[in-house]
């Protein structure tokens, strides 16, 4: 398979080479047969993307998140920090304004998270209104900076957005290499504590 740029568009071709002989069995060269498989490749790429991404927000999905956690636990990327985020009032919005408006909220939150976190951080939607961000090589000092940035940027974001974003947050840092399940659970507990304190 080869990938070519034709008229500013990427196209894929399946190329096959066949040997060519004369009637006396002398080798004459090769015949190349090319078949345009762009449509097939585009469909394959779409399904490959959807296998590890959430179809609504474009963030990573639970499947990718679980695989990444397993990989990270055996890496040298510690300390690892985990942010758990729960979108506020999604059920109320869905019930009163419809699921389409709820989807808008989820998409806006995804946009915000991609804006405030780094490219190397893994941002995943792991439930209806639950998101997790896993930050490799990130200690408490960096977490404090990120939390401060979140607080400042959400105010700016809501000023320039026609829909108000609000979410509960919990964060925990694990300094030593090992199983991340306890750290994730602690971040999740802190997120729910934050939600209860705010009575959302």
> On the CB side of 173, how many CA atoms lie within 13 Å of its CA?
15
Cα–Cα distance measured from residue 85 to residue 188, given in angstroms and rounded to the nearest whole number? 8
> Is 129 marked active-site?
yes
The single residue of 121, 129, 148, 188 carrying the catalytic annotation is 129
CA angle 84, 130, 149 (to 5 degrees): 45
* DSSP calls for the chain: -EEEEETTEEEEEEEEEEEEE-TT--EEEEEEEEEE-HHHHHHHHHHHHHHHB-TTT-SB-HHHHHHHHHHHHTSS--SEEEEEEEETTHHHHHHHH-HHHHHHHHHHHHHHHHHHS-TTSEEEE-SSSEEEEEETT--HHHHHHHHHHHHHHHHHHHHT-SS---EEEEEEEE-SSS--HHHHHHHHHHHHHHHHHHT-
Active site residues: 129
């Amino acid at each position: 398979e080869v990938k070519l740029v034709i008229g500013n568009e990427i196209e894929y071709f399946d190329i096959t080479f066949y040997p060519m002989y004369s009637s006396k069995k002398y080798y004459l060269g090769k015949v190349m047969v090319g078949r345009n498989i762009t449509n097939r490749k585009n469909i394959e790429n779409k399904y490959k993307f959807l296998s590890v991404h959430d179809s609504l927000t474009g963030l990573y999905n639970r499947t990718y998140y679980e695989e990444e956690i397993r990989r990270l636990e055996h890496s040298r990327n510690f300390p690892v920090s985990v942010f758990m985020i729960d979108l506020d009032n999604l059920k109320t919005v869905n019930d009163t304004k419809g699921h389409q408006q709820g989807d808008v909220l989820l998409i806006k939150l995804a946009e915000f998270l991609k804006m405030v976190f780094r490219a190397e951080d893994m941002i995943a939607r792991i439930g209806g209104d639950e998101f997790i961000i896993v930050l490799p090589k990130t200690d408490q000092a960096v977490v404090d900076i990120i939390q401060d940035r979140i607080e400042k940027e959400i105010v700016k974001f809501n000023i320039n957005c026609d829909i108000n974003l609000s979410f509960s947050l919990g964060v925990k840092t694990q300094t030593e290499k090992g199983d991340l399940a306890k750290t994730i659970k602690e971040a999740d507990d802190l997120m729910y504590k934050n939600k209860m304190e705010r009575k959302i």
